[in-house]
Structure 1
Amino acid sequence: MKNSQIYSLTLVAIFAALTAIGAFIKIPLPIVPFTLQIVIVFLAGSILGSKRGLQSQLVYILVGLAGLPVFTKGGGLTYVLQPTFGYLVGFAVGAFVIGYIIERGGEEPSRLRFVIANLAGTFVIYAIGAPYVYLALNFWLDMPTSASTVFVTAFLSTVGVDIVLAILTALFARRIYFLLNKKLVNALEETK
C-alpha cells in the first residue's frame, strides 16, 4: 500500500512540475498567451485519472499562489486578479473531467473515449477561462472590453490549436495510460 501511495504522490508532483514548465513554453498573444500547459492537463487527466489529475493541477495552483513564479506571469496571491487565472481553475476542473470520462470506459477505454474526454476537458477549460477574462478585464482591472473582443482573444485565437492538441494528446495518452496502469498494478501486487 505504501509503494502505491508514493507512486501516486510522485506522479501528482511530476505533473504539477510539468504544468509549471509548460507555462514557460509559450507564444505571446494579446491577453491570453498560448502555452503548452493544456497538453500537460490533457495528459494529467488521461493518465492520472480524475482525482490525481485534479490534485496535480491543484498542487500547481497552490504552489503558484504561495508565491513561487510558476505561472506565465509570476506567482503570488494577487495572481487571482490576472485575466488568465480562470484558465488555471479550468485546468484543474478539466483534468478531473477528462479523468472521470476515461474512468467510465472500463478497464480498456477506447481511443474515441480518450478523444471525447480531452475535447470535453477543452470545453471545460474555455468555459471557465474565457468568462473569467471578461470579468477580470471589465470589473477589477478597469479595462472595458467587449464580449466579442474577449471571444476572439480568449477563445478563437487558440481553441483551434487546442482541439488539435486534444486529439493528438488523446491518442498518445492512451498508450501511456496502459503502461502506467500496468506499473501501478505491479506495485500494488508487490505490497501484498
Structure 2
Amino acid sequence: MKIKTREIVFVAIFTALTAVGAFISIPIGPVPITLQTLFVLLSGILLGPKLGALSQIVYILLALIGIPIFSGFSGGPQILLKPSFGFAIGFVFAAYIIGKITYKDINPKKIFVASIIGSVLIYLFGLPYMHYILNYVMKMNLSIVEVFKMGCLLFIPGDLLKLILANLVARKGLGIFRNQINGYN
C-alpha cells in the first residue's frame, strides 16, 4: 500500500486521538469507560477503511512496544494479558468495516448503520478475549453472562452517546476532512 505524507499525518493524528481517548478513563471494572471508541468510529468514517484501520494498528503496536498509551497509562507486551486488549483488536476491524461501508457512498443513514456495525464488531472481539483472560489467566471463573454484563451492558449508554457524537462530527466535517486527506485545499 503506497501512502502519502499527508495520509501518514492523518493516521498519526487518529493514533494520537485514540491514545488520548484511553487517558480519559473511568475505571468501572476490568474494562474502563474511555473515549477511544469515539475516535475509532471517526477514524473509519473520516480516513476510510485502510487508513482508519492503519491508525488503530499503529496504536496497538505503539502500546505493545512499551509506550504507555493504553487505558491506565499501560503499555508493553503485558497488555496482551489485560481483559480489555481484545477490544483494541476490535478497533482495527471496526475502523476498516466502517470505512468500507461509508467511504464511497456518504450519507447519514450509512454512517449511522456503519457506526453501529463497528461498535458491535468491537464487542465481538472484546468479549470473548475478556472472557478468556478473566477465566483462564486470572482464574476468576465467570460465566459468559457475567462477562457480557461487565464488558458490554454497562457500556451501551455511553457507546450510544459516542456513536451519536461521532456521526454529528462526521456530518459536519467529512467533506472538509476528506479534501484535506486528498490534498485539496
**TM-score, length basis structure 2:** 0.93
Aligned residues of 1:115 and 1:171 also touching (Cα < 8 A): no
Q: 1:32 is matched with which residue?
A: 31
- Kindly provide the CA deviation profile for residues 71-108 of structure 1, in whole angstroms up to 9, marking residues without a partner as x: 01311112111110000001111111110110242xxx
Equivalent in 115, 119, 124 of residue 118 of structure 1? 115
Asked if 1:88 is matched to 2:88, the reply is yes
Bigger drift between 57-66 and 169-178 goes to: 169-178
> Map of 1:54-69 to 2, 5 A cutoff?
54-69=53-68
Segments ≥4 residues shifted beyond 6 Å: none
| Deviation sequence 1:1-39 (CA, Å, 0-9, x none) | x9x811100000011011111101011111111000011
Matched, 1:140 2:149: no
Q: CA deviation at 1:144?
A: 1.3
Aligned partner (choices 140, 148, 166) of residue 169 of structure 1: 166
1:91 maps to a residue whose letter is F
Deviation of 1:183 after TM superposition, in Å, equals: 2.5
- Residue segments in structure 2 that go unaligned for 5+ positions in a row: none
Q: Is the 8 A contact 2:47 2:178 kept in 1?
A: no
Output the CA distance in 1 between the equivalents of 2:27 and 2:7.
Answer: 34
* CA RMSD after TM alignment: 1.7
**Bigger CA radius of gyration:** 1
- Name the amino acid aligned to 1:60: Y
Single out whichever of 164-173 and 130-139 deviates more from structure 2.
164-173
Query: In structure 2, how many angstroms separate the alpha carbons of the residues matched to 1:103 and 1:14?
Result: 19
Residue 6 of structure 1 is matched in structure 2 by: 5
Give TM-score, length-normalised by structure 1.
0.90
CA distance in 1, matches of 2:181, 2:71: 33
Deviations 1:129-187 (A, max 9, x none): 111111111112212112121111001000222023212311221222210122344x2
Output aligned runs, 1:34-53, within 5 Å: 34-53=33-52
> Percent same amino acid at aligned positions?
38
Question: Match of 1:78?
Answer: 78
Unmatched 5+ stretches in structure 1: none
Q: Write the letter of the residue equivalent to 2:102.
A: I
Q: Provide the aligned length of Structure 1 versus Structure 2.
A: 183
